[in-house]
Structure 1
Amino acid sequence: MNAKQAPRSEFERLSVSVVVYRPDPAQLVQTLASLGAACAALRSIRPGLPVELILVDNGGLPDVSVVLKELAAHDIDCTIITGHGNVGYGRGHNLAIERSASCYHLVLNPDIDLDRDALIEALDFFDVHPDVGLLTPWIGDDEGRLQYLCRRYPTLLDLLVRGFLPAGLRKLFVNRLARYEMRDLINERDIVWSPPIVSGCFMLFRTDVLKRLGGFDDRYFLYFEDYDLALRTNELSRVVYLPTVRIVHHGGGAARKGWLHVRLFVASMVKFFNRFGWKWL
């Protein structure tokens, strides 16, 4: 796909929001550096495209002044929103979404490495498919293996098995989890249209679609806000899995992060099922 063949508005802009709460400093710097490299590659195709990074400090933001200066030197506007306390993941992103005046808005985790061509591939695809409102990428782990983070609508059993059972016991449910994780469709090559649920670690929206949705539902403090937003986006616009857009995700599951995260996971799961409907088995 060639971006030079696609019509683009002179008002095209990209905004990016990253919400942090006591992040790993080295990983955050790495994420921002990869974002800067991807933006530089994008501007080699789209010269002068305005980019704004909005860093939302929910608490414990380390000193990232060096990398922010490097981004600013490459004409990436950098804003830090701070002083509001730990308001949660979705509400933190909403602080940035409310102020964004862009064509595209990227919701990005602070534990993501972007491939250099990720934004080129993504915006080229948006140019050719004006009906797409949300794009999710190929997501790899630290060893370069595909993470299956597109999902079908979950049952309670799916979530409990995937989130909390030891690996040995999860093998008893391998076929069930494969269906939930869309392993029959998600791969390295094929575009997949309308996955019901996609990961919040990288969600690239048309900003007008995101604003019409009202951003994240801030009743979720942490977990399931991306499930909620993806399902609502599917009702309003097209969602696509595009494997030519590639990232690496260094995150982990709730059960590996301690009991506080388990409690947050369960509380958000109940809110999710109460809103969209319970499926047990």
Structure 2
Amino acid sequence: MTASIVTYNNNREVLLQAINSFLDTSLEIHLILVDNSPANTLCDITSDSRVTYIFNNANLGFGAAHNIAIRQAQKLSEYHIVLNPDVYFNKGTIEKLYQYMNQKSGVGLVMPKVLYPDNSIQYLCKLLPTPKDLFLRRFMKGNKDALDKRNQIFELRFTNYTNEMSVPYLSGCFMFLRCSILEEVGLFDERIFMYSEDLDLSRRIHQKYDTKFYPEAMIYHHFAKGSHKSLKLLWYAIQGNIIYFNKWGWFSDRERDSINEAALEKLEADVK
């Protein structure tokens, strides 16, 4: 098993927590740190022989940097984890996911339950979005009642996130991927600098294989929501959304409608 973390001027303490969480296992693993920072000040963050450090000397973006690691991983491993630098988890977490994937050959991607450090849940299981969904979530936060009502469906909150479920859009903060399937569907779309690249990859995997939420494994995610605080990151998010919808369709996307309807039908039946 391999994993990759893409860094950009990250807090060393938070990053080291993510690194050590992954390394705390007896499984045969290797971690690839891909540094997009302007200087290689993170090169000495760990001396563990199971870690490779790659300095890009340029900010290539989230997907393109992870692809550097994934291309190496495909030669080495059966599974690869895309890991955010602000996540951490307890010993045994990746073992649960590893065992799950070994038992579920039709699953191409699995995501654990994601919690804030205070143990409250992050609603990171989603339907494939429409442009309206993303607009409401980004710019209509003042209308909390309407947003909450939509998120009961869009973020699948009505399920309470208590059971395993098939989800078409899983967050890029922790993506446990089957490498053989990446060979088939491709890697992150490198035209997307940041944001929506996880949506695009989740969708391509979900077209042919199962993409699962597995709550028996849990991780913690600081979740800074940078695009809500920075105009530059907001522009990256908008740019990524434009590329995604140009690729898949804006208001007319029959496949999206079909995938969402099938997911909701199954999940609503399970809740009943």
Normalising to structure 1: TM-score of the pair?
A: 0.83
Extract unaligned runs of 5+ from structure 2.
Answer: 253-272
Letter in 2 for 1:23: N
Deviation at 1:236, TM superposition (A): 2.3
Structure 1 position 238, deviation (Å): 1.3
Query: Which of 124, 141, 164 in structure 1 is aligned with 2:99?
Result: 124
Amino acid at match of 2:149: N
User: Would you identify which runs of 4 or more consecutive aligned residues in structure 1 move more than 3 Å?
Assistant: 60-64
1:54 matched to 2:32 = yes
- Indicate conservation of the 8 Å contact 1:103/1:208, yes or no: yes
**Structure 2 residue matching 1:85: 3-state secondary structure:** coil
| TM alignment of 1:23-172, pairs within 5 A | 23-37=10-24, 40=25, 43=26, 49-59=27-37, 60-63=39-42, 65=44, 68-69=46-47, 71-72=48-49, 77-100=50-73, 101-166=76-141, 168-172=142-146
Q: Give the corresponding residue for 1:198.
A: 170
The RMSD of aligned alpha carbons is 1.7
Tell me the matched-pair count. Answer: 249
**In percent, how many aligned pairs have the same letter?**
31
Shift of 1:131: 1.2
Q: Alpha-carbon deviations, 1:130-161, whole Å to 9, x = none? A: 11111111000121111111110112222122
Aligned to 1:230: 202
Sort the Cα spacing of 1:171 and 1:113 in 2 relative to 1 into closer, same or farther, 3 A: same
CA distance in 2, matches of 1:162, 1:61: 36
Of 128-137 and 57-66, more deviation after overlay is shown by 57-66
CA distance in 2, matches of 1:61, 1:112: 21
Given that 2:23 and 2:29 are in contact with CA atoms closer than 8 Å, whether structure 1 keeps it comes out as: no
Shift of 1:21: 1.1
- Structure 1: 5+ residue stretches without partners: 1-13, 44-48
Which of residues 199, 203, 223 in structure 2 aligns to 1:251?
223
Q: Deviations over 1:105-154 (max 9, x none)?
A: 00001000122221111011112111111111100012111111111011
Distance 2:227 2:3 in 1: 29
Distance 1:78 1:225, change over 3 A: same
The AA in structure 2 aligned to 1:50 is E
3-state SS in 1 of match to 2:33 = strand
